[in-house]
């Protein structure tokens, strides 16, 4: 039987506010346990929440960016359940009246096609604390630093049909929230987490299968692996005559398995009701108009501009606009050197390779955009060749000079462009390889092509890579055929 996968994602984005959603406690990552939890976060009797206006602004920004309906009146509710890291006994969230309604996000698939993924809603809520099991033998520790941290939960429609599509969607959300500046997107620190609702059904069937929710997956790689593992498990179960039971599962990275955590709850299990401590939030149109006017250029618009303004391919423009920081870096390089294509090649090539090797983000690059742009200028004016440029780039990355010019002067890497000097060097190379010269002249055109590369290599070796490659090729051809 042919199977079709149906996936819906719930992404929890931690909003980049300075304080929590209902208290003045800080949200800094990595603080000592329980040092960032106020009486409000601890759920002490008599304390009252005060809504953080920045969280509302950020949620509205997101809604505008996905062309969504933004509720004029939205309401906070209490989601009731007991867990040791939830001291109030309920989570303040939004249920029937979320701040952001239906919207959409377009994703680009591997074959270049664009697919539209519907977004059901995005609502504000507070995070729970964290239970720590590793450091306490036979006990659990509770850290309430995260309790009350503002989250925007982004719920997709079940429009996703494969693990790769799911990753493309999460990457698009990740890029969007970072462009907007509303979430740092640091998945390792839990700033962006994903719950994956996965089901399978026979191809052609309209009715959805029974879904299982994979909870709290925090990397693109694990999202893909977890979903594929779950799909395989569900198909095996059904084909073995078993029924899928709706439940929440965890992905075990080491075993590459999804493991049952608890039966999947429905909304009525949480006894939602409007929070009596918080008034409804009323969003005025003038507020939205002001926010819309201040929205930054978003990834799709930036990609289109890179294609038209810099004549880049769709692929190059997509890669360079994937993050706001990378796009800004590229534009400074292109402006400095005046050659967008060369700038794109170096940013996507040598620079990306360096960052990947050292596991660095673009804002941690040891080579600044101005330094890279200045180095490309020296390639363009023939001060250095492309090969020597790699040596200059490595020296800049190692901190051996403040500018490309300084490195070139210090290491004596200036390209030899004097025709007389190159001719004299070529005469020496040909004299030292007289036998190969005779073979070349006696060969047909096909063999000459292969042998020519040998002479170019010898010439560049003799010049220690400093001779201008174009001049070497031109003069060598004349001498061999003269």
* Domains of the chain, CATH where assigned: 3-287 (no CATH), 297-411 (no CATH), 419-481 (1.10.10.410)
| Res. 111 pLDDT band, cuts 50 70 90 | confident
Q: Answer yes or no: is pLDDT of 440 > 90.
A: no
414 neighbors 466 (Cβ within 8 angstroms)? yes
Label residue 46 left, alpha or beta by phi (over 0 means left) and psi (-120 to 50 means alpha).
left
Q: Answer yes or no: is pLDDT of 420 > 80.
A: no
Q: Answer yes or no: is pLDDT of 184 > 90.
A: yes
Tokens of 149: 């941290």
Of 284, 299, 380, 221, nearest to 72 by C-alpha is 284
Q: Answer yes or no: is pLDDT of 430 > 90.
A: no
Tokens 């890279």 sit on residue: 372
Q: What is the pLDDT of residues 284-330, one digit of tens each?
A: 999 999 999 999 999 999 999 999 999 999 889 999 999 999 999 99
From the CB of residue 126, how many other CB atoms can be counted at a distance below 10 Å? 25
Tokens of 245: 């039971």
Q: Answer yes or no: is pLDDT of 464 > 80.
A: no
pLDDT of residue 69: 95
On the CB side of 432, CA atoms within 13 Å amount to 11
- CA atoms of 49 and 96, how far apart (whole Å): 20
Tokens of 338: 């005046």
* E strand or H helix that includes residue 222: helix 220-239
| Res. 482 pLDDT band, cuts 50 70 90 | low
- CA atoms of 442 and 420, how far apart (whole Å): 28
- CA atoms of 88 and 126, how far apart (whole Å): 12
Q: What is the pLDDT of residues 232-270, one digit of tens each?
A: 999 999 999 999 999 999 999 999 999 988 776 777 788
- Name the more confident of 155 and 139: 155
Tokens of 273: 């009701």
pLDDT of residue 225: 97
- For the entire predicted model, the pTM comes to 0.84
Q: Answer yes or no: is pLDDT of 473 > 90.
A: no
What is the rounded (10 degree) CA torsion for 220, 9, 288, 283? Answer: -130
Average pLDDT (111-133) is: 93
pLDDT of residue 416: 60
Q: Answer yes or no: is pLDDT of 460 > 80.
A: no
- CA atoms of 154 and 133, how far apart (whole Å): 29
DSSP for 422-438, written as a single string? HHHHHHHHHHHTHHHHH
- CA atoms of 214 and 197, how far apart (whole Å): 6
Of 14, 9, 36, nearest to 191 by C-alpha is 14
Tokens 């893909």 sit on residue: 224
Q: Give the rounded percent of residues in the chain with a pLDDT score beyond 90.
A: 75
Q: How far is CA 26 from the centre of its chain?
A: 26
DSSP for 32-67, written as a single string? PTTSS--TTTTT-TT------HHHHHHHHHHHHHTT
Per mean pLDDT, which range of 146-150, 282-286, 347-351, 467-471 is the poorest? 467-471
- CA atoms of 460 and 476, how far apart (whole Å): 11
Q: Answer yes or no: is pLDDT of 415 > 70.
A: no
218 neighbors 194 (Cβ within 8 angstroms)? yes
pLDDT of residue 456: 78
Contacts (Cβ under 8 Å, ≥6 apart) of 138? none
- CA atoms of 256 and 233, how far apart (whole Å): 11
Q: What is the pLDDT of residues 85-109, one digit of tens each?
A: 999 999 999 999 999 999 999 998 8
Q: Is the dihedral of CA 381, 382, 384, 388 positive or negative?
A: positive
pLDDT of residue 266: 74
On the CB side of 357, CA atoms within 13 Å amount to 10
Q: Answer yes or no: is pLDDT of 359 > 80.
A: yes
462 neighbors 429 (Cβ within 8 angstroms)? yes
| Res. 418 pLDDT band, cuts 50 70 90 | low
Per mean pLDDT, which range of 50-54, 290-294, 381-385 is the poorest? 381-385
97 neighbors 299 (Cβ within 8 angstroms)? no
Tokens of 96: 């029937």
Tokens of 347: 């940013």
- CA atoms of 136 and 44, how far apart (whole Å): 26
Contacts (Cβ under 8 Å, ≥6 apart) of 245? 210, 263
Give me the count of residues in the chain.
Answer: 482
409: helix, strand or coil? helix
């Amino acid at each position: 039987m042919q199977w079709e996968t149906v996936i819906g994602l719930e992404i929890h984005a931690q909003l980049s506010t300075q304080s929590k959603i209902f208290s003045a406690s800080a949200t800094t990552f990595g603080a000592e346990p329980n040092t960032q939890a106020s009486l409000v976060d601890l759920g002490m009797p008599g304390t009252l929440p005060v809504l953080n206006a920045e969280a509302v602004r950020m949620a509205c920004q997101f809604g505008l960016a996905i062309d969504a309906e933004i509720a004029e009146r939205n309401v906070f509710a209490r989601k009731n359940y007991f867990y040791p890291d939830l001291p109030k006994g309920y989570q303040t969230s939004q249920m029937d009246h979320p701040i952001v309604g239906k919207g959409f996000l377009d994703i680009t698939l591997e074959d270049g096609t664009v697919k539209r993924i519907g977004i059901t809603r995005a609502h504000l809520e507070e995070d729970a604390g964290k239970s720590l099991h590793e450091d306490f033998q036979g006990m659990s520790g509770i850290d309430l630093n995260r309790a009350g941290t503002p989250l925007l939960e982004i719920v997709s429609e079940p429009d996703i049909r494969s693990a790769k599509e799911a990753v493309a969607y999460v990457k698009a959300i990740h890029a969007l929230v970072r462009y907007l500046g509303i979430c740092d997107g640091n998945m390792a620190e839990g700033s962006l987490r994903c719950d994956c609702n996965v089901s399978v059904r026979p191809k052609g069937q309209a009715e959805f299968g029974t879904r299982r929710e994979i909870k709290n997956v925090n990397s693109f790689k694990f999202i893909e692996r977890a979903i594929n593992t779950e799909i395989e498990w569900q198909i095996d179960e059904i084909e073995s005559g078993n029924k899928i039971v709706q439940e929440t599962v965890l992905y075990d990275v080491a075993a590459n398995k999804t493991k049952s955590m608890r039966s999947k709850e429905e909304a009525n299990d949480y006894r939602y009701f409007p929070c009596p401590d918080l008034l409804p939030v009323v969003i005025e149109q003038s507020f939205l108009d002001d926010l819309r006017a201040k929205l930054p250029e978003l990834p799709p618009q930036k990609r289109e501009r890179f294609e038209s303004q810099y004549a880049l391919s769709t692929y190059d423009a997509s890669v360079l606009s994937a993050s706001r920081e990378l796009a800004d870096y590229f534009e400074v390089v292109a402006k400095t050197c005046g050659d967008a294509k060369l700038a794109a090649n170096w940013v996507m090539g040598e620079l990306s390779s360096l960052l990947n090797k050292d596991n660095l983000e673009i804002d941690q690059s040891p080579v600044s955009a101005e330094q890279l742009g200045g180095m490309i200028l020296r390639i363009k004016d023939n001060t250095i060749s492309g090969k020597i440029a790699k040596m200059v780039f490595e020296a800049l990355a190692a901190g051996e000079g403040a500018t490309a010019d300084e490195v070139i002067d210090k290491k004596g890497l200036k390209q030899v462009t004097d025709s007389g000097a190159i001719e004299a060097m070529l005469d020496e190379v040909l004299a030292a390889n007289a036998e190969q010269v005779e073979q070349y002249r006696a060969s047909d055109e096909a063999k000459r092509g292969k042998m020519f590369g040998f002479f170019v290599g010898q010439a560049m070796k003799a010049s220690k890579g400093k001779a201008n490659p174009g001049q070497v090729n031109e003069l060598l051809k004349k001498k061999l055929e003269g």
